[in-house]
Structure 1
């Protein structure tokens, strides 16, 4: 594999959305391997020297507690983690390519540490500057938030919007540009990951890995 992400990857997920069944998946598994998994593996391997090894998420959904019992995800994502739950992300779906970085909690202690660091003047101001630059550069700030504000946080807190986040990501949606199925794709993802590195570095330092043991 020496190209980018084939356009058939987008078609694959569009067709999967119309018939998300094990029967359809098994009939198209070889296509998933060729158009989705292998190109994504190539892309993240090309970036591993600079950003570390990335993990491709499994295509199956965990439907044990979900109302939606569709067995397969409508996208393929990969994360180059600095610590569990924090890192650089890339995804392909029917909507095209998305890149970004941030954190998604893997334990209950990470969001409180994040908010404490946002609350602290020095680290909080530093994060505000990082996200302001990313938004100005065309990234979208996302992540689950509380509806109003966390308990105990003043309504006039200077970084209230950041305090509202339970997790924080910055992403850029590329869609299906002309370079998607060419080697230029890796350079575009590299540029985006370099742009979000200050955010990932801040989260790695101030949020870090969960210290809560996993339940057995």
Structure 2
């Protein structure tokens, strides 16, 4: 049954892991991890990639991020993440850390809620240039209106990266606040974890992401301008 999607035990495992974040506890519960985390996440990732591919009309590639934390440069030495995270982006597009991120869909499964995201965490240098150029034109009003619609619908806009617009961008421009972003994404929390459980849970997640598709397509147009 676990292969069909998340279960109540999935969220219970994440909650217990947060309290018992040690290798000894994890190893003692390895079977539960496989049944309630690994197998359901694999199933959801595959089905959600298919659903988002149909919605976006692009073939999407997916990635699940590891539960093991990278402790090399972290003061926090707890060994495991207490969430399940996935990303989905167009097949063949570059996804290279902070240097080049295509428009993507994100999923974070926490112990008490599910968080979805749509956008680019950080633009590549050429895409950032195109983004700023478009903000100065009529297209800037289009994306500002679109983001306003999404925030009115309950989405949160990613925090700006800069305290003020970059050098060369008009300081009194109507889109000056958007110019402070080096990436652009919107986020939405699903508090009803029951809605994402069972064999149809991936559909509920895709439906939560669907309103952000116009933003995703707008960002795709930025990347298309570089090809």
TM over 0.5: yes
Native 8 Å contact 1:100 1:172 kept in 2? yes
Corresponding residue SS for 2:177? helix
> Which of 134, 142, 152 is the aligned partner of 2:158?
142
1:164, CA displacement in angstroms?
1.6
In structure 2, the CA distance between the partners of 1:127 and 1:101, relative to structure 1 (3 Å rule), is same
Alignment map for 1:23-102 (pairs within 5 Å): 23-50=24-51, 51=53, 52-82=60-90, 83=93, 84=95, 85=101, 86-102=103-119
Q: Distance in 1 between matches of 2:113 and 2:119?
A: 20
Q: Distance in 2 between matches of 1:198 and 1:128?
A: 12
1:115, CA displacement in angstroms?
4.1
Native 8 Å contact 2:196 2:204 kept in 1? no
Question: Higher relative contact order at CA 8 Å, sep ≥6: structure 1 or structure 2?
Answer: 1
Corresponding residue SS for 1:54? strand
Corresponding residue SS for 2:30? helix
> Which of 122, 125, 137 is the aligned partner of 1:121?
137
TM-score, normalising length: structure 2: 0.79
In structure 2, the CA distance between the partners of 1:37 and 1:96, relative to structure 1 (3 Å rule), is farther
Native 8 Å contact 2:164 2:177 kept in 1? no
Corresponding residue SS for 2:194? coil
TM-score, normalising length: structure 1: 0.82
Unaligned runs of 5+ in 1: 212-216
> Which of 169, 172, 178 is the aligned partner of 1:153?
169
Match of 2:211 in 1: 195
1:114, CA displacement in angstroms?
5.9
Native 8 Å contact 1:143 1:166 kept in 2? no
Q: Distance in 2 between matches of 1:207 and 1:95?
A: 35
Corresponding residue SS for 1:179? helix
The two structures, once aligned, show a CA RMSD in angstroms of 2.7
